A = this chain, B = another copy of it.
Amino acid sequence: MNPTHLQTARMDTGMEFKEARLDNGLTVIAEVNPAARSVAMGYFVKTGSRDERPEESGVSHFLEHMLFKGTPTRDALEINLEFDHLGAQNNAFTSEENTVYHGAVLPEFGPRLLELLTDMMRPALRQEDFDTEKQVILEEIALYADRPQFMAYDWARERYFRGHGLGNSVLGTVESIEALTREQMADYHARRYSPSNMVLALAGKLDWEATLEQVREITRGWRPAAVQREYAPFEPRPGEFRQPYAQATQSYLWHFAPGFAAQDERRYAAGVLANVLGADGNSRLHWALVDSGLVESASAGHEDNDGAGLFYAFAQTDPANEQAVAEVVRREMERLEREGVQADEVERAKNKIATGIVFAGETPMNRLFNLGLSYVYTGRYETLGEMARKYEALTVADVNALLEAKPFSRGFLYRLVPENGDGR
């Protein structure tokens, strides 16, 4: 009696996948589920801090804010009022390589939400709104200064990915934001928000033909443009860096190591490996660091980006234990590389991941993210069941094969520590 088997047999029931490409280049995809109680949708724009020129640092995230400030026919108040009238659960986020605008409503309000989100994709970028929102962005940058864990993450990425766009800060800096002009933002928008660089994804209860007809109509004025992303060569250099920080009383350790890209089928095995190393509650790092009382939490994961991937591990510790924690992390990684993973660990990790897929699939909103983010980088639709079966099929040998290149030994250990810390 294995949960994975039960799940895969059940999870694709009643779902139907649809896709279309409009003449302007926009891709529209949908996972239609007539039994759902809501419909979720989102524009997945294939752009983020990795696509910014140095003098534009932070523009992707700032632009995300500006899309809520107005279009040629709506001001900020009208946009917010419409979301509220629809009773929408909506939000947006920007990462190193994605900018996503999403919402969920009752099925009756799907067409109105679609119209609103689509209108927002062509913002007015009014100078006055730009100037006011710049202050909000500067506030946001300032508030992260009080979150050492976040700063450690940002700075560790910058050092690990040195010279590669994946190391670019999403927020940008006070200097880059202060210097940014409305014209630079408009230029970035014109370059990156081409329909050919966007995917509109929908999940839940919806009428596919009517949706497609509506999208065609309301994006008629959208012009395609050639869009490129730079894939700078990236070769991780093993090393470490230790940085004192006035706002920290604790020590923050991030370990980064080369992983597998979103286009690489080995990313499934990488997910299992990261789970064995550092899943919450039951993993090598949990038993070595948390159960032993050294730290309150420790974790590891795998991130598959466009053309590159990353194993990460994190621990936060009393400065007095910093050296001990760093040594345990290294020891557990070396042991993995030397001895490989155990069969029962792999089964457990597969089981946890597969169950996570089922729970993620319970609501259209959660389903939307799987659907949109994976399609953007693979151009393929994978049902929940297909995804779960890929994990199910993995063997100990598949996972151990990833360890042959000794990825963790080629990793980078970053520590953010209190000033005057005695961790050494």
Contact = CB atoms under 8 A, between A and B. Distances in A.
Interface of A: 1, 3-4, 6-7, 10, 37-38, 76-77, 80-81, 83-89, 104-106, 108-109, 132-137, 139-140, 142-143, 145-149, 247-250, 281-282, 286-287, 290-296, 316-318, 348, 351-352, 354-356, 358-359, 362-363, 365
Nearest to A418: B146
A109 B3 contact: yes
Contacts of A132: 291-293
For the complex, would chain A's binding face be called helix, strand, loop or mixed by DSSP majority?
A: helix
A281 to B, nearest CB: 5
Contacts of A7: 106
Contacts of A137: 296
B282 A359 contact: no
Given A109-B3, A291-B76, A250 B143 contact: yes
26 contacts: A1-B108, A3-B87, A3-B108, A3-B109, A6-B108, A38-B358, A77-B287, A80-B281, A84-B282, A87-B355, A89-B359, A105-B355, A132-B293, A139-B293, A139-B294, A139-B317, A139-B318, A142-B250, A142-B318, A143-B250, A143-B296, A145-B250, A146-B147, A146-B148, A146-B247, A247-B249
Nearest to A350: B87
Contact of A135 (B77, B294, B362): B294
Contacts of A76: 291
Copies of this chain, complex-wide, total 2
A348 B136 contact: no
A288 to B, nearest CB: 13
A145 B146 CA distance: 11
Nearest to A345: B84
Contact of A282 (B83, B86, B247, B295): B83
A68 to B, nearest CB: 8
Nearest to A316: B143
Contacts of A145: 249-250
Given A85-B348, A143-B316, 8 more contacts: A37-B358, A80-B286, A132-B293, A134-B293, A136-B295, A142-B318, A146-B148, A146-B250
A32 to B, nearest CB: 17
A362 B363 CA distance: 7
Contacts of A293: 132-136, 139
Given A132-B291, A363-B363, A140 B296 contact: yes
Contacts of A149: 146
Contacts of A281: 80, 83-84
Nearest to A65: B296
A348 B85 CA distance: 7
A179 to B, nearest CB: 18
Given A83-B282, A108-B6, A149-B146, A296 B139 contact: yes
Contact of A38 (B38, B348, B362): B362
Given A38-B359, A106-B6, A108-B6, A87 B351 contact: yes
Contacts of A134: 293
Contacts of A286: 80
A165 B246 CA distance: 35
A140 B317 CA distance: 9
A183 B108 CA distance: 58
